[in-house]
Chain A
């Protein structure tokens, strides 16, 4: 058993990736057991998840729908998740936990909705403006958290919690008081011109949505990766995250880089906010903190805190949640089982560091044994 583990997960090459994959496989296995316990075939259930996300062909489609339309809807939900996971990952690179992604998303979504969403600007102006406003407002919240950290030494986790709820109630108040759509109990829907997703596009005899920001998410992920791995700024942020004392010794400013990381993280969370509230959705539900901000923490972890890893991790988690509706209707099981599988994956992801250390330990033990034999 130990030997197999070492073979599979030992060594440094892409070790974190292999450990992530390992946790995913174990989780899917656990999920399969749940399905079996409920008397369902796990393979067809997992197949349904993929079908629901447009990654596998369904047996039949309603009018104007096919695998492509499903896939586009999937990309629509994937986009904000990628941004949110990137936001967490960048902060983690500097050794900070950004629990405030939710609040930043709300801020970005709310401000963009108010300023552009309810305006009558033409699309070519409105859409870029939504993105810019989203990024800037998220960055401001990030700056606030970073500033509280380095100026007053307030733990970023604590300040994030306070700020999340403060912002949530402020926006809830404004929405409920001034911008409420009475029937949906959500904020008034924004103008299509401002929306980052083109909905109900009719072409090739199909009806689908186009998440305009999806390519941006991929580009931004690549840019973030470039920033982290290829620039002096990224070098400094990573040095601060991995060893504060050593970074200081090398003449790198700890406070400046923490602040910077939180601003970048905030901007990314802002982009997640606008792609979620002004893209995937067109309105904001008052009174709740978007759970995506919290899920993103674990998704980033699953993605080994690497921007490209974040894309894949977001892909997996979103595929499960997005495909769950179809799976639920096909299998006749509760839709929540998808969230359950997701959280099991996240639990294993949280243990990945332990697993890495455990592998290190047992492989050293094995080496010792070999040494003894040689003697």
Chain B
């Protein structure tokens, strides 16, 4: 049972984590990003479409479409994040409103395009791109160890991709000049500007990164939880990852902890309910945990809340 908790928990937590990193990039640069939900959805759409196209070319058993679909998803998410960029930076729209609008647009656009493409390219009427569940693998040797081995058993390949990217993103955020500039923009854009940093350019890149990372998360869910791309991808995971990054105080490592807590609470609760023979509907009670815990954390530790100081502020060079 513990093995399953670990395996399922990781499969859920890691995509959440990469999406939350995306959120951290955007928010640390000073752009509120409620659009994660829409970005992951659009990314998944773009990736799933690519995968379905390639599956025709390569045949069902090939793994090529799988990997390419993640690249495509990331590109799609980056592309779509430009809408948020455009609204927030160019048109100086309120970032909360922009996020909401981007989510609405993503849902509308992807369901429209899915139907349209299914009809015009594949000649069928469907609002889905069927992907199936991703293959899984186990690391020989280590996966045999009790409990710990579960971390290496039945692993989705995307989990490995996510870990690699997460390490890179952590490094970029905290160890490179770019990361330093980025975090400065979210705290005091005037200081960043005075240091010769182009604030809006940094913010643009950050939001694009958040688009790419969210998209990878969306694609992962499309290959695991939903096993297809359909409007059902908009389950609120984007908002959950926002809860995770708030829980993690806008830092990457604590956010990983938050995601793991969320993930294991989810899989653990599921397992427990199964064990106790309760109906599966009790799972919904478990799903409340992340939100309530985050809210309580904010209530009790609101003083320690380190949201980026300039978050949501439109940066106008002229204003001082």
Contact = CB atoms under 8 A, between A and B. Distances in A.
Question: Do A's and B's CB atoms come within 8 Å in the complex?
Answer: yes
Nearest to A173: B284
Q: Tell me what chain A mostly uses at the interface: helix, strand, loop, or mixed.
A: helix
A354 B108 contact: no
Contacts of B96: 97, 99, 157
Contact of A294 (B83, B104, B285): B104
Interface residues of B, number: 44
Given A159-B298, A344-B105, A346-B104, 6 more contacts: A148-B295, A161-B239, A165-B239, A340-B105, A340-B109, A346-B105
Contact of B97 (A165, A172, A297, A339): A297
Given A157-B96, A289-B236, A173 B104 contact: no
A162 B105 CA distance: 22
A248 interface: no
A71 B115 CA distance: 29
A107 B98 CA distance: 26
Contacts of B107: 291, 339
A298 B96 CA distance: 11
B74 interface: no
Interface of B is mostly: helix
A286 B282 CA distance: 13
Given A97-B96, A154-B302, A165-B239, A351 B87 contact: yes
A311 B39 CA distance: 31
A339 B103 CA distance: 12
| Residue in A286, A339, A342, A357 whose Cβ sees the most chain B Cβ within 10 Å | A339
B94 interface: yes
Given A162-B292, A169-B288, A173-B285, A350 B93 contact: yes
Nearest to A289: B236
Contacts of A168: 236
B249 interface: no
B256 interface: no
A331 interface: no
B259 interface: no
A286 B283 CA distance: 13
Interface of A: 97, 99, 148, 152-155, 157-159, 161-166, 168-170, 172-173, 176-177, 286-287, 289, 291, 294-295, 297-298, 301, 334, 336-337, 339-340, 342-344, 346-347, 349-351, 353-354, 357
Contact of A350 (B98, B116, B243, B291): B98
Given A173-B282, A354-B92, A165 B298 contact: no
Given A152-B298, A339-B108, A339-B111, A170 B288 contact: yes
A289 B240 CA distance: 13
B294 A162 contact: yes
A200 B105 CA distance: 34
Given A162-B291, A176-B284, A350 B239 contact: no
A219 to B, nearest CB: 28
A336 B101 contact: no
B130 to A, nearest CB: 18
A11 B248 CA distance: 47
B236 A177 contact: no
Contacts of A289: 236
A298 B92 contact: no
Contacts of A295: 104
Given A165-B240, A169-B284, A152 B302 contact: yes
Interface in B87-124: 87, 91-94, 96-98, 100-101, 103-105, 107-109, 111-112, 115-116
B246 A158 contact: yes
Given A294-B103, A301-B97, A346-B104, A161 B91 contact: no
B299 A148 contact: yes
Contacts of B292: 162, 166
B287 interface: yes
B7 interface: no
Given A154-B299, A159-B298, A301-B97, A169 B287 contact: yes
Given A154-B298, A158-B298, A347 B291 contact: no
Given A169-B284, A336-B111, A353-B92, A347 B100 contact: no
B101 A350 contact: yes
Interface string B253-297: 000000000000000000000000001011011011001101100
B103 to A, nearest CB: 7
17 contacts: A99-B100, A148-B295, A148-B298, A158-B242, A159-B298, A164-B239, A169-B285, A169-B291, A170-B284, A170-B288, A173-B284, A176-B281, A176-B284, A177-B282, A287-B284, A340-B105, A351-B93
Contacts of B34: 99, 157, 161
A340 B108 CA distance: 5
A298 B299 contact: no
B284 A347 contact: no
B139 to A, nearest CB: 35
B101 A353 contact: no
A166 B240 CA distance: 11
A291 B242 CA distance: 18
